[in-house]
């Protein structure tokens, strides 16, 4: 009888314990993961943990709004969108006809006021002469009164003895009464002349023709009208690129109406909106690297943190969130962080307002502060300024000085020849012109008094 077959018997040939190719592939993947993980760990330990990044960042710059300083009708537009303009370049021209009429009226009123003021100063000498004349009349009347009184005193004792008749004595008494009345009248006229002089001197005391209140009031009207004429030409306060032009030829504009904007692209900055959880290590002065989407990764900008915003963007929005009402869902807030840029890099690769940026701040150095509590010093200068409008007031002062000198008479006319040259120079000294006119007016006044 045959033995049963053993189904569990081992086969004659055995399969390999594993696939070598698969093992090699898995090993390679594991090694690659370990290498990548180790490399990232080293990168994070050396660099990554010392940086904060965000792609919620945008380029900002000073956007100077051009507005009309006086009402008028637009007659010309000298710059359009995308045009580059320099500071002082004419942008918009208004019709100056109405302003010129007002200037002519103001200049005529100033000239008339100067002449009337000269009369006030001249009246002082006239009234003083009248006082001298009234004083002489009073002295003569006093002498006549004394003589009449002596005549009465001599005749009165002789009336009783009959040496002097009553009729003669009566005539002497009448002459005494007439002399007394004449003296009283002469003294009253002298007092009235003195009061007139005091009244006139109260309008001229401590002043000259140039700085008399009436002249100053009329001069202010001339300056106002002069500025209105000059403001018919609207210049660019800063150099930059024109944007958002809305003004049209023939449009009637009022003072304060926006006409266009000038964007200064030579000194932009970046507002990077970091999450509130990223602010713990951010400090003022930390370096930053930035990449603009318009240039890609091959252009890298360098800058530093200038300051952190005083509040989140939601807090300063037009309609801030009311988290104390209704159901509440937490939303991660962001705080704008201002980052300055290197001007040389910006000059090589210009930026535009609103461009997207990727910002990475190196937070390894945490010695700075997150809140700037140091006020801006005078040495740092203004954040933004312009000198385009300074010459307007200087020219107005020179025009006022010319009119006063031309109508001042006497030595004040010397200023009339110098005033046109001063009016053509934007840097003319207004205070110096006023001092010269005031000095000339004082000399003229003293000359009249002598």
CB 79 within 8 A of CB 236: yes
CA 437 to CA 279: how far, in whole Å? 63
User: Which of 279, 299, 277, 272 is closest to 357 using CA atoms?
Assistant: 272
User: What distances in angstroms separate CA 44 from CA 36, 312, 385, one per listed residue?
Assistant: 12, 29, 45
Give 376's contacts (C-beta < 8 A, 6+ positions apart).
383
Q: How many CA atoms lie within 13 A of 303 on its CB side?
A: 28
Separation CA 140–CA 152 (nearest Å) = 19
CA atoms within 13 A on the CB side of 25: 5
DSSP-H helix ranges across 202-255? 213-230
What distance in Å separates the CA atoms of residue 309 and residue 284, rounded to the nearest whole number? 11
- Domain residues for the domain of 169 are 100-230+389-449
Residue 143 lies in a domain: yes
User: Is residue 369 in a domain?
Assistant: no
Tell whether 72 is covered by a domain: no
For the chain, the distance separating the N- and C-terminal CA atoms, rounded to the nearest angstrom, is 171
Please check whether residue 105 lies inside any domain of the structure.
yes
Are β-strands 233-235 and 252-253 bridged in parallel, bridged antiparallel, or unpaired? unpaired
Domain annotation covers residue 419? yes
Report the alpha-carbon distance of residue 352 to residue 61 in Å, rounded.
8
- Calpha distance 291→272 (Å, rounded): 12
Q: Is residue 252 part of a domain?
A: no
| pLDDT digits (tens), the chain, 450 positions | 444 545 554 454 444 555 787 788 888 888 888 888 877 677 666 565 678 899 999 999 999 999 999 999 999 999 999 999 999 999 999 999 999 999 999 999 999 999 888 877 777 777 777 777 878 877 887 787 777 777 667 666 666 666 666 666 577 677 777 878 887 887 888 778 777 767 766 677 777 788 888 888 999 999 999 999 999 999 999 999 999 999 999 999 999 999 999 999 999 999 999 999 999 889 999 999 999 999 999 999 999 999 999 988 888 888 888 888 878 888 899 999 999 999 999 999 999 999 999 999 998 888 888 888 888 777 777 888 888 888 778 888 888 989 888 887 655 544 444 444 444 433 333 333 344 333 433 433 343 343
Q: Give the number of domains in the chain.
A: 1
Within a domain: residue 395?
yes
Residue 118: inside a domain: yes
What would the two tokens of residue 427 be? Answer: 């840097």
């Amino acid at each position: 009888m045959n033995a049963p077959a053993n189904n569990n018997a081992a086969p004659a040939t055995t399969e390999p314990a594993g696939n070598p190719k698969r093992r090699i592939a898995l090993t390679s993947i594991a090694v690659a993961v370990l290498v990548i993980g180790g490399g990232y760990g080293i990168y994070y330990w050396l660099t990554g943990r010392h940086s904060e990044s965000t792609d919620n960042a945008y380029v900002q710059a000073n956007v100077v709004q051009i507005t009309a300083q006086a009402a008028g009708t637009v007659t010309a537009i000298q710059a359009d969108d995308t045009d580059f303009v320099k500071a002082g370049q004419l942008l918009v021209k208004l019709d100056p006809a109405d302003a010129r009429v007002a200037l002519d009226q103001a200049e005529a009123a100033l000239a008339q006021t100067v002449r009337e003021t000269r009369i006030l100063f001249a009246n002082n000498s006239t009234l003083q002469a009248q006082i001298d004349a009234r004083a002489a009349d009073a002295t003569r009347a006093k002498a006549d009164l004394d003589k009449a009184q002596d005549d009465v005193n001599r005749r009165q004792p002789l009336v009783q003895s009959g040496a002097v008749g009553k009729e003669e004595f009566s005539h002497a008494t009448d002459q005494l009464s007439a002399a007394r009345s004449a003296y009283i009248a002469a003294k009253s006229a002298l007092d009235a002349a003195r009061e007139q002089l005091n009244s006139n001197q109260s309008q001229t005391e401590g002043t000259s023709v140039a700085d008399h209140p009436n002249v100053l009031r009329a001069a202010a009207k001339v300056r106002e009208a002069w500025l209105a004429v000059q403001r018919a030409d609207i210049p660019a306060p800063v150099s930059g690129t024109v944007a958002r032009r809305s003004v049209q030829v023939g449009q009637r504009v009022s003072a304060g109406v926006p006409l266009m904007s000038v964007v200064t692209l030579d000194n932009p900055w970046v507002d990077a909106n970091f999450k509130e959880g990223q602010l713990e290590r951010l400090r003022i002065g930390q370096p930053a690297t930035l990449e603009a989407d318009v240039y890609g990764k091959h252009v890298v900008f360098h800058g530093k943190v200038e300051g952190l915003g005083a509040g989140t963007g939601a807090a300063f929005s037009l309609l801030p969130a009311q988290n104390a009402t209704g159901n509440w869902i937490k939303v991660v807030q962001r705080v704008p962080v201002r980052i300055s840029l290197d001007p040389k890099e910006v000059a090589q690769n210009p930026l535009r307002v609103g461009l997207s940026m990727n910002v990475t701040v190196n937070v390894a150095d945490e010695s700075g502060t997150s809140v700037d509590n140091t006020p801006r010093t005078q040495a740092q200068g203004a954040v933004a300024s312009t000198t385009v409008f300074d010459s307007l007031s200087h020219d107005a002062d020179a025009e006022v000085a010319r009119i006063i000198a031309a109508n001042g008479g006497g030595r004040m006319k010397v200023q009339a020849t110098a005033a046109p040259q001063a009016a053509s120079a934007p840097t003319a000294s207004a205070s110096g012109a006023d001092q010269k006119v005031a000095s000339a007016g004082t000399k003229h006044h003293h000359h009249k008094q002598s």
